[in-house]
Structure 1
Amino acid sequence: MNAPENRVVVFLHSGEYDRVHQGLSIAAAAVASGRRAEVYLFWWALERFLLDRLDEPDFTGREDISDRFEKRRMPTLRALLEHIRETGLATVAGCTGSLGALGGEPKAGDSGVDIWLGWSAILQRTAGVTDRFYL
């Protein structure tokens, strides 16, 4: 594991498309600059991944944004996820507590989740990291 100051950590709680997109964009910018990125999925963000809702932009009540998003060929959540994965510098972790609350069982590789962790492990892994983003 890299020194904490070389990593970027993104905590995704909200499953809203714009927030998940922003979080994965932050991770993409980190890996593009050669830094490790760790994306942690909780509650509704985790649910979006488990339901495999990564392709179609869904900005509830903002169809104008959805149309503009597609016309400008903005990357989908899946495209961003694939990009960060291809670099070998990113890890996507799912929270076991959130998974339990959603009624699921942890399986590596499910919908983009590389590793399942509880809060104790998450706190250990992210200790000392200053570049943290909460969405």
Structure 2
Amino acid sequence: MSDRVSTPDNRVVVFLHSGEYDRVHQGLSIAAAATAAGRRVEVYLFWWALERFLLDRLDEPDFAGREDVADRFEARGMPTVRALLEHVRDSGLGTVAGCTGSLGALGSESKAGDSGIDVWLGWSAILQRTAGVADRFYL
């Protein structure tokens, strides 16, 4: 019998596929809450979420057909996607990774270097890095 106690991986992983503002905001809200609790976070960007980052569309809430929500969102001083991202980055506990396959499918290789994304990975590396993580969120 071993004296070592096995502890589960305490990281939080957020997979963002949709580029809709509400989903990206929710994913980064989860990431910000986790880092505030002292947990490491990895945010993985795919397809339309990646495109939102590459196009630097992180500041203005754009809820298609729901201007009432956008107005309330701003009136209540809700943080933007950029503000949440800055919280995650400033914590020193977060990593933002972009999927190389999605980058290629979007034809956006030229924007990769200026994106602010910490690391570019393919699925094999993503699967290795996230193995054993219990707290995974898919948006």
Distance between the aligned counterparts of 2:114 and 2:32, measured in 1? 20
1:29 alignment counterpart: 33
Q: Where in structure 1 are there 5+ consecutive unaligned residues?
A: none
What displacement does 1:111 show? 2.7
Larger CA Rg, structure 1 vs 2: 2
What displacement does 1:112 show? 3.0
What displacement does 1:97 show? 0.1
> 2:126 corresponds to which letter in structure 1?
I
RMSD: 1.5
Match of 1:80 among 77, 84, 87: 84
Report runs of 4+ in structure 1 exceeding 2 Å deviation.
Answer: 106-112
Alpha-carbon contact 1:96-1:106 (below 8 Å) kept:
no
> 1:14 corresponds to which letter in structure 2?
S
Distance between the aligned counterparts of 1:45 and 1:131, measured in 2? 20
What displacement does 1:38 show? 0.2
Alignment TM-score, normalising by the size of structure 1: 0.94
Match of 1:56 among 60, 70, 74: 60
Q: Please say if 1:15 is aligned against 2:19.
A: yes
What displacement does 1:5 show? 2.0
> 2:64 corresponds to which letter in structure 1?
T
Q: Where in structure 2 are there 5+ consecutive unaligned residues?
A: 1-6
Q: Please say if 1:124 is aligned against 2:128.
A: yes
Q: Please say if 1:69 is aligned against 2:79.
A: no
Distance between the aligned counterparts of 1:37 and 1:56, measured in 2? 24
Q: Please say if 1:43 is aligned against 2:47.
A: yes
> 2:65 corresponds to which letter in structure 1?
G
Equivalent pairs counted in the alignment come to: 133
* Residue-by-residue CA offset, 1:81-109 (whole Å, 9 max, x unaligned): 00100010000000000000000227766
What displacement does 1:4 show? 5.7
For residues 93 and 71 of structure 1, do their structure 2 counterparts lie closer, same or farther at Cα, with a shift above 3 Å needed?
same
